Amino acid sequence: MIELPREERLAAAFVDLADTLVREFDVIGFLYTLAEHCVQLLDVTAAGVLLATPGGRLVDVAATDARTRRLETHSIEGEEGPCWDSFRSKKQVTDVPLATPEARARWPRFAPRAVEAGFASVAACPLRLHDQVIGSLDLFRDRPGPLDASQLRLGQALADTATIGVLQVRAVSEQLTVSAQLQSALDSRVVVEQAKGYLAHRLDTDVEEAFVHLRQYARSHHTRLTELARQVMQGTADPALFDRHDR
């Protein structure tokens, strides 16, 4: 496949993140898209997205790989890390080297786990619109050296665009409250995780490759990610999805 020029990929990313006024908006797939665009467009290895409950508790809703999801889960449980700092301060966390005494002093539980997971540094951007912050975007790198300031600005722009999309959907939705929408996102994430594992078993591959296959199939067949995941778990998915040669 021929890779599009960076300008076209950048434009496509903002179009994806602005296109939220669609029927049956899939918030979990939307935030996976945000994380994936960050990895594709920025000099980062992985990304994770967390949303806040009305009570101010962060929950992980999207991550580009399994190690990032585990790390985000530990961060939430310990209530420390770049996501919490960004969410609480409503500001960016600029690139922080993780294997330093300063990082361990700042995040005594998070920093060692991040290093153990293979990450060298982390930055974070709040999901914000003016003074309203609904979550955080974490950006991880496995290479030494600082993340360029222009890269962080682009990450913030992507996060801001996604925030506007989520808030726009919340505003126009008459059926779901914010709490119900968040619960729906969490329920969808569970189904997606289950489908990833089942598909990995059926295809005899790892979970990450299975997820890539699931996402690609959903896109090429114009199917919502969560709906396809439910079909997989209910045994109603197209048999072609389980064909190794279809990958």
Looking at the predicted structure, is the pLDDT value of residue 92 above 90? yes
Looking at the predicted structure, is the pLDDT value of residue 90 above 80? yes
Region of residue 200 (phi > 0: left; psi between -120 and 50: alpha; otherwise: beta): alpha
Q: Tell how many helices (H) and how many strands (E) occur in the chain.
A: 10, 5
144 with 89, same domain: the answer is yes
Q: Which residue has the tokens 């008459």?
A: 174
135 with 37, same domain: the answer is yes
Angle at 54 between CA 48 and CA 59, to 5 degrees: 25
139 with 194, same domain: the answer is no
The percent of the chain in helix, strand and coil, each rounded to the nearest 5, is 60, 15, 25
124 with 64, same domain: the answer is yes
Higher per-residue pLDDT: 57 or 38: 38
pLDDT, residue 181, reads: 63
**Band of residue 137 on the pLDDT scale cut at 50, 70, 90:** very high
Q: At 239, phi and psi to the nearest 5?
A: -55, -25
156 with 199, same domain: the answer is no
Buried b / exposed e along 188-200 (16+ C-beta atoms within 10 A): bbebbeebbebbb
150 with 34, same domain: the answer is yes
**Band of residue 179 on the pLDDT scale cut at 50, 70, 90:** low
DSSP state of 247: -
226 with 146, same domain: the answer is no
User: Residues 185, 192, 211, 12: what is their CA dihedral angle, to the nearest 10 degrees?
Assistant: -30
Number of domains in the chain: 2
Q: What is the mean pLDDT of residues 192-221?
A: 90
C-alpha 19/C-alpha 21 separation (Å) is 6
Q: Residue 195's domain spans which residues?
A: 189-246
**Band of residue 246 on the pLDDT scale cut at 50, 70, 90:** very low
Least confident of 18-27, 40-49, 70-79: 18-27
Region of residue 236 (phi > 0: left; psi between -120 and 50: alpha; otherwise: beta): alpha
**Band of residue 101 on the pLDDT scale cut at 50, 70, 90:** very high
DSSP SS3 for 134: strand
